[in-house]
């Protein structure tokens, strides 16, 4: 493992660890070999051949991502012939790719575009046959455009190895290869959970979110409507990246101000609704504990997880909390109590959710979440769409004066803030559950055992002498691994949090694309986004959901108490098994 | 009469399901069980004549292999049929002996007559077309196999005549005027 060897790269000697690929060693020595199909969190595919290098004594150029080192290896990364060969490879990829960069969703954010530039490609030399397929527009959340696909396979590996969903595969062969769901079925009918991680890892615009910005712009221009926005915690922790800020800048006040400038009449905080969720969820948990209800109880905030569970784990439906997600709870209150307060017919309210998540577009359309026959959340736009809208409307986001959320759904506790990070919902729920159960104040409210980015985290808390064992999984592949344990040992945990995306919502499928010098779902980037939320929690004087005065007022004026009849009517939901039945991959990689 | 036919079909269906399941059970727990997928798909195609979505779904559940992966394998290899074959599978032999005796012209004639390409099925679902690599009947080359009957010493004209005999026999059979096409086609 620790064995060191000497290699030379471009004539210079280096001492490096033996147990690496050429690419990893070159990275550690400061040479960034161009690459496309490689991603450090995914298995090695070696498909694109962009990362070829020359090794003295070897007949052919070799793919550096897939080749191990040996003592005395002499590697060249930048010879004239190699540069030419690499450029030819990228030119051949471009040959079967539309020439429509200036009208493409990923213009300026495209890895292929950057690569072509870096290779020095200034002409299109090859003009061969080009593939033509229909776009798959069936999904509520993710659009698949095979014409833009360069067959790097990152989406397929993400979907199987990290998410364990296996909605995608490579079908046909050679020139006719297409990445598609089984049986070439529409995405909407496949096992796709709408998580959007294929979008995050796609180097081109072969996968993009279903765009709702034009629809939203037209609603914002309609003066007969009351426009109400809510913002998910993770949006504020990542939106700055869309304006070239480093990850981890909390842009809450700027986002609120920008939304008002875009034309929203009210800007609310999904963190408020997260506090509301905690009141309901912690109460539901305690009810299950006290009345010997079904345990472990599993959280239900993540929309991709919701769909995954219905297709892959229908046997666990009784374990799932009946609480709606914060977005849907917020929207339900907006379309009922808030509409009454401002004396507006809820039909004339447009409830818009700004989310880090493509699956929320799916969730918004779930018929189970209708309120009084109306869709509670009318439009969902993801962080990337909001970034574009702000730029398109000419709003100077970075220099804008920060503003506060509106009352009565703008105040939130630190517990509501950390919803955006894996483990956050559990931590928030335990902060409240402990006090509701014991009647005492929980002193040490930062639960470090369930923080961090391990795929599965476990912890426990003692309430009045009763040990409550909890587990947290982020990413659906990790969820699968955890749930296999639960199926075998149903008594092992009492309470489980599952988030569909790596890192939780901060790593959602709707977050800004990776910066030019970074990679999708870079751990450092996720850490910085998480820290933006944790530091916000630390700064708040109110850190427990039940201490939020706006929440207390909502219960006093409208809901009565958690799990009341009204709460059940508006804030809780149900699930049912869905076809096609999913089969989890056995190739899931631990992250 | 029809009821008996239906029963027979059901019995055959149940038999195929059973045989496929037994085959999967015999391989799935072996080391690298997943790698028997191709063998399982071959088995299924042998039993059903092609790989239907239902059969692939069954294989997916029994082997616990995601359907997107099975679909990838089934579409990668040309051998696998994803549509039901015609009532009569026409295999044109392109083995060496047949080839030198004019098999390419026979193939062209069949293509033109049936208006389908290799792997295709005629609109009336009567014929499907595939290649064969030597059927062991080199003495009467060039040969064409239709269903399980070998037709030797073919010419482009003769093969069209043979196809027409099948058509005639089939329409006579379906209007109830003659016995089974297999019995009449000699």
Minimal Cα–Cα distance from B66 to chain A, Å? 5
CA distance B73 to A591: 28
Place B182 in a pLDDT band, splitting at 50, 70 and 90. very low
Q: Which of B55, B58, B67, B80 should one mutate to test binding to chain A, selecting the residue with the greatest count of A CBs within 10 A? A: B67
Q: Residue B183 has what pLDDT?
A: 36
Q: Could you tell me the CA-to-CA distances from A186 to A135, A204, A583, B68 in Å, in that order?
A: 10, 21, 18, 12
Check pLDDT > 90 for residue B153.
Answer: yes
How is residue A242 annotated by DSSP? Answer: G
The per-residue pLDDT for B184 is 35
Helix (H, G, I), strand (E, B) or coil at A33: coil
Alpha-carbon B161 to chain mean position: 21
Whether residue A169 and residue B72 make contact (CB cut-off 8 A), yes or no, is yes
As a whole number, mean pLDDT of residues A528-550 equals: 97
Number of Cα atoms under 13 Å in the Cβ half of residue A139: 29
List B residues 52-71 in contact with A (Cβ-Cβ < 8 A): 53, 56-57, 60-61, 64-71
pLDDT at residue A591 in the model: 59
The yes-or-no answer on residue A110 being catalytic is no
B65, B68, B72: residue with CB nearest A167: B68
Cα B82 from Cα B49, distance rounded (Å): 9
**What is the nearest CA distance from B58 to chain A, expressed in angstroms?**
11
Any catalytic annotation for residue A281? yes
Identify whether B43 is preceded by a cis peptide bond (ω within 30 of 0).
no
| Cβ distance of A583 and B64 shorter than 8 Å | yes
**Partners of residue B34 in chain A, C-beta under 8 Å:** 586
Q: What tokens does B93 get? A: 């032999």
Q: Is pLDDT at A446 greater than 80 in this prediction?
A: yes
pLDDT given at position B179: 42
- Each residue's pLDDT tens digit, A353-377: 999 999 999 999 999 999 999 999 9
| Contacts B72 to A, Cβ<8 Å | 169-171
State phi, psi for A38 to the nearest 5 degrees.
-75, 135
**Gap between the Cα atoms of A404 and A231, Å rounded:** 12
By Cβ distance, the residue of A170, A582, A585 closest to B72 is A170
Packed helices B37-48 and B67-76: angle between N→C axes, nearest 10 degrees: 70
Catalytic pick among A111, A161, A280, A284: A284
Classify A115 as helix, strand or coil: helix
Structure tokens at A1: 């493992």
Question: Of A479-493, A546-560, B117-131, which gets the smallest average pLDDT?
Answer: B117-131
Residue B70: its chain A contacts at CB < 8 A? 182
CB A285 within 8 A of CB A247: no
Residue of chain A whose alpha carbon sits nearest to that of B51: A183
The answer to whether the Cβ–Cβ distance between B68 and A585 falls below 8 Å is no
Q: Which residues of B touch A47 (CB under 8 A)?
A: none
Q: Is the dihedral of CA A189, A190, A193, A197 positive or negative?
A: negative
Catalytic residue among A48, A152, A155, A301: A301
Distance from CA of A180 to the nearest CA of B (A): 8
Quickly tell me which residue has 């990152």 as its tokens: A154
pLDDT tens readout for residues A228-285: 999 999 999 999 999 999 999 999 999 999 999 999 999 999 999 999 999 999 999 9
Nearest to A579 by CA among A158, A103, A147, A182: A182
Which of B34, B50, B66 to mutate: most A Cβ within 10 Å? B66
Annotated catalytic residue within A249, A360, A361, A457? A360
Helical ranges in A239-269 per DSSP H: 252-262
**pLDDT class of A206 with cuts at 50, 70, 90:** very high
pLDDT score of B180 more than 50: no
The answer, yes or no, to whether residue B66 has pLDDT greater than 80, is yes
Q: Tell me the shortest Cα–Cα distance from A33 to chain B, in angstroms.
A: 31
Q: How many CA atoms lie within 13 A of A77 on its CB side?
A: 22
- CB contact set of A176 (below 8 Å; sequence gap of 6+): A131
CA distance B65 to chain A (A): 7
Quick one: pLDDT band at residue B175, thresholds 50, 70, 90?
A: low
Q: Do residue B66 and residue A581 have CB atoms under 8 angstroms apart? A: no
Among this protein's residues, is A101 annotated catalytic? no
Bridge partners (DSSP) of residue A473 are A456, A498
Sheet holding B88-93, edge to edge: B127-132, B88-93, B144-146, B149-151
Q: What is the pLDDT of residues A41-80, one digit of tens each?
A: 999 999 999 999 999 999 999 999 999 999 999 999 999 9
Residue A444 pLDDT: 87
Q: Which domains does chain A have, with CATH numbers?
A: 4-78 (3.10.20.740), 124-209 (3.30.70.20), 214-571 (3.40.50.1780)
Q: In the prediction, which pLDDT does B181 show?
A: 41
User: How crowded is the C-beta side of A410, counted as CA atoms within 13 Å?
Assistant: 14
Q: Any idea which residue has 């047949």 for tokens?
A: B98
CA–CA min distance B17, chain A (Å): 20
Catalytic-residue membership of A321: yes
Question: B-chain residues within 8 Å CB-CB of A170?
Answer: 72
Q: How many CB atoms lie within 10 A of CB B77?
A: 11
Confidence at A1, pLDDT banded by 50, 70, 90? low
Shortest CB distance from A169 goes to which of B57, B64, B69? B69
Residue B185 predicted with pLDDT over 50: no
- Flag the least confident range among A295-304, A495-504, B70-79: B70-79
Residue A187: Cβ-neighbour burial (10 angstroms; 0-12, 13-18, 19+): buried
From chain B, the residues in CB contact with A169 under 8 A are: 66, 68-69, 71-72
Q: What is the pLDDT of residue B4?
A: 78
Could you tell me the two tokens for B164? 């027409």
- B181: its two tokens: 């096409």
- Contact at 8 Å (CB) between A505 and A455? no
Q: Report yes or no: B72 at the A interface, CB cutoff 8 Å.
A: yes
- Rounded Cα–Cα distance for residues A7 and A54 (Å): 13
């Amino acid at each position: 493992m620790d064995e060191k060897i000497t290699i030379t790269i471009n004539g210079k000697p280096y001492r490096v660890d033996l147990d690496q690929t050429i690419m990893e060693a070159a990275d550690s020595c400061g040479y960034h070999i161009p690459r496309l199909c490689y991603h450090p969190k995914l298995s090695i595919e070696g498909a694109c051949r962009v990362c070829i290098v020359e090794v003295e004594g070897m007949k052919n150029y070799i793919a550096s991502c897939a080749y191990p080192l040996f003592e005395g290896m002499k590697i060249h990364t930048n010879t004239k012939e190699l540069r030419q060969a690499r450029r030819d490879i990228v030119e051949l990829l471009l040959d079967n790719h539309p020439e429509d960069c200036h009208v493409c969703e990923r213009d300026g954010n495209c890895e292929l575009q950057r690569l072509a530039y870096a290779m020095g490609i200034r002409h299109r030399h090859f003009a061969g046959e080009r593939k033509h397929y229909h776009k798959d527009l069936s999904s509520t959340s993710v659009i698949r455009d095979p014409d833009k696909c360069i067959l790097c396979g990152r989406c397929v590996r993400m979907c199987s190895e990290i998410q364990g969903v296996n909605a995608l595969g490579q079908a046909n062969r050679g020139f006719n290869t297409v990445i598609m769901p089984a049986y070439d079925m529409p995405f909407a009918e496949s096992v796709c959970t709408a998580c959007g991680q294929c979008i995050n890892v796609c180097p081109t615009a072969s996968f993009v979110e279903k765009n709702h910005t034009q629809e939203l712009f037209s609603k914002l221009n309609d003066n007969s409507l009351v426009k109400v926005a809510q913002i998910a915690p993770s949006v504020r922790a990542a939106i700055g990246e869309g304006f070239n800020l480093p990850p981890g800048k909390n842009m809450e006040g700027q986002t609120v101000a920008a939304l008002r400038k875009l034309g929203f009449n009210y800007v609310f905080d999904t963190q408020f609704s997260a506090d509301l969720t905690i009141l309901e969820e912690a109460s539901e948990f305690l009810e299950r504990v006290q009345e010997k209800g079904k345990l472990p109880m599993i959280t239900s905030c993540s929309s991709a997880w919701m769909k995954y569970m219905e297709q892959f784990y229908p046997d666990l439906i009784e374990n799932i909390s009946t609480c709606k997600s914060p977005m849907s709870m917020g929207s339900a209150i907006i379309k009922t109590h808030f509409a009454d307060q401002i004396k507006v017919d809820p039909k004339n309210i447009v409830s818009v959710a700004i989310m880090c998540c493509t699956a929320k577009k799916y969730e918004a359309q779930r018929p189970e979440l209708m309120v009084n026959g109306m869709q509670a959340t009318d439009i969902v736009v993801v962080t990337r769409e909001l970034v574009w809208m702000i730029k398109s409307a000419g709003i100077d986001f970075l220099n804008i004066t920060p503003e506060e959320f509106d009352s009565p759904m703008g105040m939130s506790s630190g517990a509501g803030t950390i919803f955006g990070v894996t483990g956050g919902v559990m931590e928030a729920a335990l902060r409240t559950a402990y006090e509701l159960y014991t009647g005492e104040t929980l002193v040490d409210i930062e639960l470090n055992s369930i923080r961090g980015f391990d795929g599965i985290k476990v912890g426990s808390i003692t309430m009045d002498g009763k040990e409550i064992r909890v587990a947290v999984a982020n990413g659906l592949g990790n969820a699968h691994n955890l749930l296999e344990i639960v199926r075998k040992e149903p008594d092992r945990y009492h309470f489980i949090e599952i988030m569909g995306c790596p890192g939780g919502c901060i790593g959602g499928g709707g977050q800004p694309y990776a910066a030019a010098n970074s990679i999708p779902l870079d751990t450092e980037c996720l850490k910085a986004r998480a820290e933006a939320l944790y530091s916000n929690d630390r700064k708040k004087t109110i850190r427990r959901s039940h201490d939020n005065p706006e929440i207390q007022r909502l219960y006093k004026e409208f809901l009565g108490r958690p799990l009341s009849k009204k709460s059940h009517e508006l804030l809780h939901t149900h699930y049912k098994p869905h076809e096609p039945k999913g089969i989890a991959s056995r190739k899931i990689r631990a992250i | 009469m029809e009821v008996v036919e239906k029963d027979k079909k059901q019995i055959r269906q149940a038999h195929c399901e059973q045989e496929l399941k037994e085959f999967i059970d015999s391989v799935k727990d072996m080391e690298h069980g997943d790698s028997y997928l191709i063998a399982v798909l071959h088995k299924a195609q042998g039993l059903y004549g092609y790989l239907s979505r239902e059969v692939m779904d069954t294989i997916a559940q029994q082997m616990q292999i995601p359907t997107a992966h099975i679909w990838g394998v089934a579409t990668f290899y040309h051998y696998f049929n994803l549509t039901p074959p015609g009532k009569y599978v026409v295999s044109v032999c392109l083995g060496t002996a047949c080839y030198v005796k004019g098999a390419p012209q026979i193939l062209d004639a069949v293509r033109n007559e049936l208006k389908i390409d290799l792997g295709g099925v005629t609109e009336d679902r009567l014929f499907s077309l595939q290649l064969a690599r030597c059927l062991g009947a080199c003495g009467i080359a060039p040969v064409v196999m239709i269903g399980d009957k070998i037709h030797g010493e073919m010419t482009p004209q003769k093969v069209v005549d043979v196809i027409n005999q099948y058509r005639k026999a089939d329409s006579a059979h379906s209007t109830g005027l003659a016995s089974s096409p297999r019995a009449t086609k000699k």
